[in-house]
Structure 1
């Protein structure tokens, strides 16, 4: 059963592309010691998934020595975009006949799987004093539609680790 869960989790977010990171090369990342979530955050997630990803993000940043504060050095803004990704694999079926001077053929494709949902998750770190973006991480991941709450929790933990693991730049 445990192997099945690991396999399903791998299917859920295993096809994650590499996190794309961009940042202000002039930013002093050591100056950011406190954080809070952007007050007008509109993540595009349902409330349960938003709570999951915010909790994972908060735990991760605290693990890096940062403190959540009402007067933060930086705001964290998380937003997502979902779109359907067509699955291009199919099985072909054909009927053919050929002979002297003539031919006949019929073919068709039967999809092996249905389309999947891709979720693009963006993390923006915004300087609270200047209201300017100084770091951004983006990750695209395939999403299953019928995923258990436990698997969603694990999946968002992996997304946060993959993206925020690249913060601050130059440190591992």
Structure 2
């Protein structure tokens, strides 16, 4: 090690932005597959853990044909995400209920955040998350990106 060698750290979000293939986002086709897979697994988790038979709708639309940008929508009958958790659940890498609750499908709660990071690498729009927790009469809508330097959600 030389005396001039410098050490630094990067956030988990920056690491996965630089290395998307580690989360399965090595090319556009794999990114689409991983995005749909992660969102469907999350929908299944939101029903299975609470013994609800799942009803899941997946829609993939072309958002911009010229730039090959797609919009992926997954709607389910799961328990919903508490609104105070949504920004971190979608905008903070390595933040997950899987560290607290019993593990079901995903290991680290990384997948959906990897999809958000991949999305913001190729287009300017924030992602949109809509949730309505069971028992709530309200529908909550969030638009966000991930600040890769701080590993924090940016809410629009």
TM-score when scaled to structure 1? 0.28
State the structure with more CA Rg.
1
Higher strand fraction (1 or 2)? 1
TM-score normalised to structure 2 length: 0.30
Q: Which structure has more RCO (C-alpha within 8 Å, separation ≥ 6)?
A: 1
Q: Which has the higher helix share?
A: 2
